[in-house]
Amino acid sequence: MTTLAYYVVDVFTGRSFAGNPLAVVLGAEDLNSAQLQALAREFNLSETAFPLRPSAIESARGVDYRLRIFTPVTELPFAGHPSVGAAWVLRKLGWFDAQDVTQGCGEGDLPLVVSPSGAELTGGRPCASGPIDSADALAAVGLCHDDLDAALGAPPRVCGTGISFAVLPVRPDALARCDPDPVGLRAFAHPISDATGVYVVAWDGSTATARARMFAGDIGVPEDAATGSAALALGVWLAVSDLVSDGSFAYTVLQGIEMGRPSRLECVLEVGDGAVRSVRVRGDVVEVAHGQIAIPRLN
């Protein structure tokens, strides 16, 4: 075999050439990490996903497939739009018939519900820091103290359900003024915090809708059009910021607008006894291309 089949899909959108593009490469079980990274670099999308057949041990515990996820420069243990997009492609190709499937990845075994139009992903273990100083996060995305949404009374925190983001609440007009500093973003991620990126959010509690942008510092993706893992992190932030009460809470994230890649992420947060029980994110998926790509032959 000298080539591998691939599909390119747009995730978190119901139409082509919107949402977040993703390459899904099949049959890569025998490739090493350097070869997978070379393929991700060739596609040069925010992420490339490699679904792999599960091992016997994984199958025994109910894993339907294993997923490795690469940005153009590094491997991620978990990410939202690759998980949603890959699950949809695999069901379309007949890897499984069931709607309910389990994906194995660096964050553990995660459940998904796959439909003809898209998929819903449940994030991993929720985590949240205490309030963080907003100055460094604001500076990393070219904003100032006056851009914070002081009316919310909720400080920025580093939150996540697999990988973490600094959730930075701002006034709606600040989104268009973001001017990220790549050096500042890298410094903010390490060593200032454990955040993968700064998730700039304008939250409207009256409609349970967030307008968002995500800027990353050290994964080779300056801005992401739709970040499922960050949308999950937002749910954790809403809960620890006391902006939602116990029970089930649905919210929507609109992202990618400033990039010309409008995306819609539908989320559900479950809170019990003041603690986050789970966060789910759902989106539609549209196929835009498929073909064959050469297997990298690296020295």
pLDDT in tens, 19-70: 999 999 999 999 999 999 999 999 999 999 999 999 999 999 999 999 999 9
Identified catalytic residue from 47, 107, 120, 223: 47
- Inform me whether the pLDDT recorded for 225 exceeds 80: yes
Residue pLDDT, tens place only, 74-129: 999 999 999 999 999 999 999 998 899 999 999 999 999 999 999 999 999 999 99
pLDDT digits 0-9 by tens, 197-213: 999 999 999 999 999 99
Q: 191 or 266: which carries more pLDDT confidence?
A: 266
Cα distances (angstroms) measured from residue 115 to each of 49, 52, 79, 99, 199: 19, 21, 19, 6, 28
Q: What is the CATH number of domain 3-121+285-294?
A: 3.10.310.10
The conformational region for residue 62 under phi > 0 = left, psi -120 to 50 = alpha, else beta, is: left
Helices (H) and strands (E) in the chain, counts: 6, 17
Chain-centre distance of CA 84, in angstroms?
9
Mean of the per-residue pLDDT values for the chain?
95
Q: Where in the chain is the domain with CATH 3.10.310.10?
A: 3-121+285-294, 127-283
Q: Coil, strand, or helix at residue 102?
A: strand
**Whole-prediction pTM:** 0.96
Q: How far apart are CA 92 and CA 9, in angstroms?
A: 12
CATH number of 127-283: 3.10.310.10
- Is position 58 annotated as part of the catalytic site? no
- pLDDT for residue 8: 98
